[in-house]
Amino acid sequence: MGEKRAEPDFHEAQTLRQWHARLVLAMPPAAMLFIAVRQLVFHHPWGNPAMSNGGVIFLTVLLVGVYIRLITVRLVTDVRSGELSVGLQGLWRKRKVPLAGIRSAIEVQYDPAANYGGYGIRSGAKGLAYIASGNRGVQVELNDGRKLLIGSQRSAELARSIMQSRNSAR
């Protein structure tokens, strides 16, 4: 049987709530859905030469599937004994940081666009950032001097959990 992992000391899952991004991402599948209805129901072929009905159906299903996958991505942060893990679940693998490798974790306020260039996984002069929404998070400084920002709606609790788990692991 598979090994069951212990419950995390801290767990947070945040959806990416930027409505404008969802609107932009919806445009290609909506356009393809329009084309599919036009070709399959009203018999007005699309393209020159016309795309096959099977091709239109396949492309429509593919674009709708990609859209659904992208809008269900969540930023998941866990603090467990021995490690901090953060990642965009459903899109990217988790980054795992040993708690012993963390020098400090402090609650911060930031501007996602000005400080990191937006939402998602961002890398820049201030280090790596995982941001889903809002303007609060935890700035983690690693023992080697690198920095990692984790956006959180519960930033004080996250910072406290990281430091308590790190200290108890020693």
**pLDDT higher than threshold 60 for residue 3:** no
- According to DSSP H, which parts of the chain are helical? 19-40, 53-71, 112-116, 155-169
pLDDT for 5 beyond 80: no
What pLDDT sits at residue 29? 97
Tens of pLDDT, residues 20-61: 888 999 999 999 999 999 999 999 998 899 999 999 999 999
Going by pLDDT thresholds of 50, 70 and 90, the confidence category of residue 1 is very low
Alpha-carbon gap, residue 44 to 53, rounded angstroms: 11
Predicted confidence band at 18 (pLDDT cuts at 50, 70, 90)? confident
Binning pLDDT at 50, 70 and 90, where does residue 14 land? very high
User: Band of the pLDDT at 8, cuts 50, 70, 90?
Assistant: confident
Query: What's the mean pLDDT in 106-128?
Result: 91
Q: What is the pTM of this model?
A: 0.81
Mean pLDDT of 76-87: 94
**What is the predicted pLDDT for the residue at 90?**
83
Is the pLDDT higher at 127 or at 140?
A: 140
CA distances to 19, 132, 153 from 12, in Å: 21, 11, 8
Q: Please, what CATH class does the domain formed by 77-169 belong to?
A: mainly beta
Burial letters 102-138, b for 16+ CB under 10 A, else e:
beebebbebebeebbeebbbbeeeebbbbbbbbebbb
Radius of gyration in angstroms for the set of CA atoms belonging to the chain, rounded to a whole number: 21
3-state class of 82 per DSSP?
coil
Q: How far apart are CA 120 and CA 21, in angstroms?
A: 11
Name the residue ranges covered by the structural domains of the chain: 17-71, 77-169
Band (169; pLDDT cuts 50, 70, 90): low
- Residue 154 and residue 159: Cα distance in Å, rounded? 9
**pLDDT score of 101:** 96
